[in-house]
A and B are shown apart, each in its own frame.
Chain A
Amino acid sequence: MKNRMQTLVGVLILYPLLSASLISSDQVEFDRAAQAFLSKHCLVCHDSEAQEGGVSLEGLKTVSVENSDLWKQIWEQVSLDEMPPRDESFRPDALERFKFSQRITEGLVEALKDVGGFRLHLHPSKGNHLDHTLLFDREYLAGQLEPPSTPARIWRIQPQEHLTRLNALINLEPVFDARKPGVRTRGDRILPNPQGEVKVYFGLDRVIGWVGGSAAYAAAITGFSPVLSTEDAHGLRNYADQYSVNASEAVQIAGLAEDILKFMAYGPDAEEYQFADKVSEIDAKYKHGDLRGLAQSLFYSKEIKRPLTPVYELVQDGGFTADSKARAITYLFEALTGRPPRAEELKKYVSILERAVGDLGQEEGVILGLAPIFLDREAVFRVELVNYGKPDQFGRIMLQDDELGLAVNAAFSYLPPDKTLKQSIVQGRMKTREDAAREVARILADPEIRKPRILQFFREYFDYDRAGSICKDTPALNSAGGDNKGTNHYTTMQGMVSHTDRLVELILAEDKNVLEELLTTNRVVISPGTDVRYFSQLEKLVKKLPKVPKGTKLTDADRGYVDLPKGKNIHVRVPQVVKNGRTNRTLTELPLDQRRGILTHPSWLVSHSDAMDNHAILRGRWVRERLLGDSVPDVPITVDAMLPDEPRETLRHRMRVTQKSECYRCHRKMDPLGLPFEMFTHAGLYRTTEMGKKVNTRGEIIDSGEEGLDGPVKDALEMIDRLAASERVHQVFVRHAFRFWMGRNETINDAPVLRAAYQAYRDNGGSMNALLKSLLTSDAFLYRKVSELETRN
């Protein structure tokens, strides 16, 4: 038994790198282990005679292309403890399930390697397939697991990181203002424009006027959207192994590079008449209404406002010198990759630049010749390759110098390292765990260093940032209490996402009981003019508004809106493209008998809704995965996952179809957790009735894995309170933070890192800073491993 265990542990630790060779030489052992597991736990119901659910596992052999679909199902069922059913006596324990599911994934990886591969287990949505108890319950496989590390890798940079760096090349952004810490500052994420598009614009800071209104201005100004793509899905969206850069993205980057370089060199692409000190100086013939929305309708200050960089110097008369070439290349390389070019890199890019200028002349050649820097490997991938140093006894090498500095920097920032971190790298003070700890603590303590990555984690963890892109059917929005005039609903939702961002930042700044606060606080940031409606009660909205004397405005009370305390002034970010946008909002409090925490804010509720109604399944799935650390198997392709189209019935009634026996095995994990949110409409308004009757908000926490947590709940508020106090929920939060910052799913080897991070969070009063310090100085973050097998290859 001991020998077998040791063999198995070896497979676990080195997986997936060595799995292929071990499995191929061990098929007999796989069959034997599979047979033993299936016989003991599965065949009672799934032999050739019983075939429950039409599934027979009798005689099932080593994973192959032909039987891989069946093995994938077994993998999910076993990993998630779905099978055998919970009322059976022959259920395996967590460790048995883990060992068998590991064997299956190894088998799938090997069997499918030539037909598209198997990577499902590495996807963020499958992180919870590793049983929570194996990480936090006690130390499993004590003394038999190698210490944590992460494979040596390249990590395609985040789309927002890419965009923010490109933006910094062409726009001067405001510096940090301690009096208004929430306003947009250099290094912040790029926000979507009022139409919902995330875009960086050329020459925004130089525009002094335009023809037409704000819509015409938005149409006239030129910009670009993210080139790099991410999965447009709920949950964590950017693991290191998820993305590459495809041919079309590379072509787009090349084209965009030329546009950016042109702007850096020559400024806005505009006619002479468009430049003036004042708009009044411009001839009236250029202000004709027909020009609205066209690039020619924008007027620019004569004063140059964009960053004047060495690229600008390079195109000046007599500016194309050896020194200026090197300066321009060094500047761009560092701005795009985060580090200065090495001598051989500089030489290479000088030669490309000179050739292009030879072909096209200085004016155009500089643009084409500098564009390849935007396509350098490190301009689109951050490298963690540890091609230095001596591996420890486990084959691990610690990140150092550039790689460590850039990894620490990327944990917080989208821009290249600040001056202090840059000096630490150059001076050889980024080599040890203590060096990393020093920089992490320094960055966390400095509010001037923007940390959009931390906010991005909360966006991906909570998924409240999708509200503005959930399309609503107009009549359905109307009946849910939303604002159906024009695009009001969508712009309000975009704004609400920013307001939730600000609330998150506020709670992070306090750094006390962070998750619990986010789940239960009655504080809220609002724009009173647009948001109060959405925090109101549906039944109290006044359907027929009273007539008021001319010049008098309707009050919130006239409209039946909720009466919120006056609150305090607070500042938020507004999109770059909004000229002179007001940044002040209100920090106020919500009635605790109706709402508490982000899960009761319209931004989260609408993000988890669809065009016509609430999405109780999605909401329940969120609670199941992000708070309880469990998962739901993928919907089989043969399942018609549609609710009946019965507009006069409640969602709860329409969801009766999920209670069919073949559906409810999975839906029982989601529906009772999502239906308590029926106390809100799909626009996020509080309600007490539905279809003329008292709304049913009952639900239940089932199979949570924590003693005392299970049981019925009367509504979402009771459920949230109970979950917010759960130790398991906080541990699951730590698991998600681990995944986000390590860029991969945790393995059983990472259990000590997770336990330490949770302890740091808990012992420091729910401090996110403490959690991050722990994670970012852990072995999982610092060590990279290239197996011997890979090195030989």
Chain B
Amino acid sequence: MFNRRNILQGMAAGVALGSTTLGSTALGSPRFGRVAGGSPKRVVFFLQNQGFDPATCVPAGMKESGSLSGAELPEPIRPLEPYKDKLHIINGLHGRHTSPSHSAFFGALGGYRGGIGVPPAGATIDHVVSGQLPETLLPHLCIGMDAIENMISRPTLATLSAADAGKPVFMHSNPKLLYQMLFGGIATGDVKRKFEARSNVFNRIEEIAQQSSTTLPPSERERYGGYVAGFREINGLREKLETVSDHLRKFAPEYGDKIVKPKFETDWHDSLLDIGIASLKAGLTNVLTIGSGRGEIFGSWKGLGIVPAGHNLGHMKQPGNPIWIKIRQYNCRMLVKIMKELESIPEGDGSMMDNTLIVYTSNNADKQHTSGANWPFMLLGDLSGTMTTGRYTSVRGNRPINALYATLLHAIGAPCDRFNMEKSIAGKYDSKLGPIEELLA
């Protein structure tokens, strides 16, 4: 039987682009090796900007932890009603130490102090998870959704994910470019012709850039090397993808009008999601990070009939607000799409979704101007039976978002007592050591 994962993992061995070596971080994160054996696992992180008000996700009247089976989901997340048995709503974590007002930026997934323009202080959980799971061609794919102008003018941006201290991971926002990068080699006609012409040009650019480095002093060669390496990375990935083109062809999404002639920004949001899902299904990556609003305080959803855009959306209260109901429901429909698509692909005795976890939250905790005292999350899926589902958990004690991230590492088989939190600071911010037990099956 054809096993695409084995093929891709084999392809990836020794690919510099795919290797993820966790160095020491400013926060002293534990070093991990890759998790060996067990069922395949994958994790999707979805962060909506401007906050996630608990009143928009905790069922009315639900004060204590308990089963969701008899509860009715609030209107903003109602599209998840059919998936309640896969859902786990978590309320009561905090991120006070992350400075989340406006956005904790890298701190939202890093569990450390973030801020606008502040470089990451360590690896973020999504990248750490990607480093634990079996290696793939793209160890970690990040996509970011924003106003269409912003996605055109800044097709890549790094605000949420990091490979290490000072090493941001960029998210892709232009589906045309991302499609050409991942699936250009298998395309036909015009896309293929352009892909090949562009390949020639980029190879020449790499050669020229490489030649230009020979006259540099060693101290400058290293800095310039980052520039040259960029081209090598682009060209190297293209070559690797070409070698698995037959396999990719089965999963490539349609390159249609939604990508080429988007009417609204949401056409590109949908297209980016399609490419992200295709990457998961094809085994190109095991970790997908989705930044809706790209970790900042802007964003636009005109395609949902929402006229206001940008920063002012964050100044609105979310509960009962028709604008935020539309945005949250749109998010939830995306979550449903991910689940349905992964359910459609057999894996082991079940489907890919059986081995998947989706982590949904905001990079701003509960609201735009927040102290981070409460940071709601939703989890979907049980990650090969390692996580509990169908529940609402009101977290007991003083537990930071780092504790949830430590829990995820337990679930994928890389247990740690604390994630990105030193003992000295944990005394103040975390009342307990280790994972959040209620979340683990």
- Give chain B nearest CB distance to A130 CB in angstroms: 20
What per-residue 1/0 map shows which CB atoms of B131-154 lie under 8 Å from chain A?
Answer: 000000000000000000110111
Chain B residues positioned under 8 Å from A153 (CB to CB): 217, 219-220
B154 touches A225 (CB 8 A): yes
- Give chain B nearest CB distance to A263 CB in angstroms: 14
B437 within 8 A of A: no
What per-residue 1/0 map shows which CB atoms of B163-174 lie under 8 Å from chain A?
Answer: 011100010001
Option from A248, A356, A637, A786 in Cβ contact (under 8 Å) with B156: A248
B440 within 8 A of A: no
B113 touches A348 (CB 8 A): no
Q: How far is the CA of A199 from the CA of B153 in the complex (A)?
A: 9
Option from A255, A359, A364 in Cβ contact (under 8 Å) with B155: A255
A637 touches B425 (CB 8 A): yes
B197 touches A645 (CB 8 A): no
- Given A377-B209, A638-B425 in contact, is the A793-B220 Cβ separation under 8 Å? no
A116 touches B166 (CB 8 A): yes
What per-residue 1/0 map shows which CB atoms of A601-642 lie under 8 Å from chain B?
Answer: 000000000011000000000000000000000000110111
How many residues of chain B get a CB closer than 8 Å to chain A's CBs?
A: 69
Q: How far is the CA of A249 from the CA of B219 in the complex (A)?
A: 22
A392 within 8 A of B: no
Q: How far is the CA of A68 from the CA of B316 in the complex (A)?
A: 46
Option from A65, A231, A244 in Cβ contact (under 8 Å) with B227: A244
- Give chain A nearest CB distance to B153 CB in angstroms: 4
B226 touches A244 (CB 8 A): yes
B194 within 8 A of A: yes
B217 touches A116 (CB 8 A): no
Q: How far is the CA of A148 from the CA of B428 in the complex (A)?
A: 49
A45 within 8 A of B: no
- Give chain B nearest CB distance to A525 CB in angstroms: 27
A24 within 8 A of B: no
B197 touches A359 (CB 8 A): yes
- Given A360-B197, A611-B102 in contact, is the A372-B218 Cβ separation under 8 Å? no
B315 touches A474 (CB 8 A): yes
A377 touches B224 (CB 8 A): yes
B250 within 8 A of A: no
B201 touches A642 (CB 8 A): no
Flag the segment in A133-141, A379-387, A711-719 that touches B.
A379-387
B205 touches A154 (CB 8 A): no
Chain A residues positioned under 8 Å from B220 (CB to CB): 152-154
A375 touches B216 (CB 8 A): no
B204 touches A637 (CB 8 A): no
Option from B24, B177, B310 in Cβ contact (under 8 Å) with A255: B177
B218 touches A352 (CB 8 A): no
B371 touches A645 (CB 8 A): yes
B27 touches A375 (CB 8 A): no
Chain A residues positioned under 8 Å from B233 (CB to CB): 247
Nearest residue in A to B17 (C-beta to C-beta)? A247
Most chain B Cβ neighbours within 10 Å, of A154, A365, A385, A474: A154
- Give chain A nearest CB distance to B309 CB in angstroms: 9
A519 within 8 A of B: no
What per-residue 1/0 map shows which CB atoms of B374-397 lie under 8 Å from chain A?
Answer: 000000000000000000000000
Chain A residues positioned under 8 Å from B112 (CB to CB): 637
How many residues of chain A get a CB closer than 8 Å to chain B's CBs?
A: 67
B201 touches A372 (CB 8 A): yes
Most chain B Cβ neighbours within 10 Å, of A254, A365, A637: A637
A73 within 8 A of B: no
Q: How far is the CA of A254 from the CA of B224 in the complex (A)?
A: 17
- Given A252-B155, A637-B27 in contact, is the A790-B200 Cβ separation under 8 Å? no
- Given A199-B153, A247-B231, A637-B113 in contact, is the A241-B215 Cβ separation under 8 Å? no
B312 within 8 A of A: yes
B230 within 8 A of A: yes
Chain B residues positioned under 8 Å from A487 (CB to CB): 312
B218 touches A250 (CB 8 A): no
B201 touches A376 (CB 8 A): no
- Give chain B nearest CB distance to A349 CB in angstroms: 9
B230 touches A246 (CB 8 A): yes
- Give chain B nearest CB distance to A217 CB in angstroms: 13
Chain B residues positioned under 8 Å from A65 (CB to CB): 24
Option from A231, A244, A371 in Cβ contact (under 8 Å) with B201: A371
- Give chain B nearest CB distance to A328 CB in angstroms: 16
A355 within 8 A of B: yes
A251 touches B155 (CB 8 A): yes
Nearest residue in A to B314 (C-beta to C-beta)? A471
A640 touches B209 (CB 8 A): no
Chain A residues positioned under 8 Å from B371 (CB to CB): 642, 645
- Give chain A nearest CB distance to B209 CB in angstroms: 7
Chain B residues positioned under 8 Å from A387 (CB to CB): 215
Nearest residue in B to A65 (C-beta to C-beta)? B24
- Given A116-B165, A245-B230, A250-B230 in contact, is the A790-B219 Cβ separation under 8 Å? yes
Q: How far is the CA of A225 from the CA of B216 in the complex (A)?
A: 30
Q: How far is the CA of A380 from the CA of B102 in the complex (A)?
A: 32
What per-residue 1/0 map shows which CB atoms of A658-695 lie under 8 Å from chain B?
Answer: 00000000000000000000000000000000000000
A611 touches B101 (CB 8 A): yes
B216 touches A154 (CB 8 A): yes
A471 touches B209 (CB 8 A): no
B212 within 8 A of A: yes
Q: How far is the CA of A492 from the CA of B46 in the complex (A)?
A: 35
What per-residue 1/0 map shows which CB atoms of B193-208 lie under 8 Å from chain A?
Answer: 1101110111011001
B205 touches A372 (CB 8 A): yes
Chain A residues positioned under 8 Å from B227 (CB to CB): 244-246, 250, 377, 380-381
- Give chain B nearest CB distance to A123 CB in angstroms: 11
A195 within 8 A of B: yes
Nearest residue in A to B202 (C-beta to C-beta)? A254
- Give chain A nearest CB distance to B143 CB in angstroms: 13
Chain A residues positioned under 8 Å from B164 (CB to CB): 116
Chain B residues positioned under 8 Å from A791 (CB to CB): 217
What per-residue 1/0 map shows which CB atoms of B224-261 lie under 8 Å from chain A?
Answer: 10110111011000000000000000000000000000
Chain B residues positioned under 8 Å from A510 (CB to CB): none
- Give chain B nearest CB distance to A370 CB in angstroms: 10
B269 within 8 A of A: no
Chain B residues positioned under 8 Å from A641 (CB to CB): 113
A10 within 8 A of B: no
A223 within 8 A of B: yes
Closest 10 CB pairs of A and B: A232-B117, A247-B230, A248-B156, A359-B197, A244-B226, A377-B212, A248-B170, A224-B153, A638-B424, A250-B230
A/B interface sample: 30 pairs, CB < 8 A:
A115-B23, A151-B217, A151-B219, A153-B219, A154-B224, A222-B152, A223-B153, A245-B227, A245-B230, A247-B229, A247-B233, A248-B230, A250-B227, A250-B230, A250-B234, A251-B155, A251-B156, A251-B177, A355-B201, A356-B200, A359-B197, A368-B197, A368-B198, A375-B205, A375-B209, A381-B224, A385-B216, A637-B26, A637-B121, A642-B371
9 extra A-B contacts, CB within 8 A, seeds A248-B230, A250-B227, A360-B197: A17-B219, A154-B223, A247-B170, A247-B233, A360-B194, A381-B227, A637-B27, A637-B113, A790-B217
Which residues does A use to contact B, with CB under 8 Å? Answer: 16-17, 65, 115-116, 151-154, 195, 199, 219, 222-225, 227, 231-233, 241, 244-252, 254-255, 348, 352, 355-356, 359-360, 364-365, 368-369, 371-372, 375-377, 380-381, 385, 387, 471, 473-474, 487, 611-612, 637-638, 640-642, 645, 786, 790-791, 793
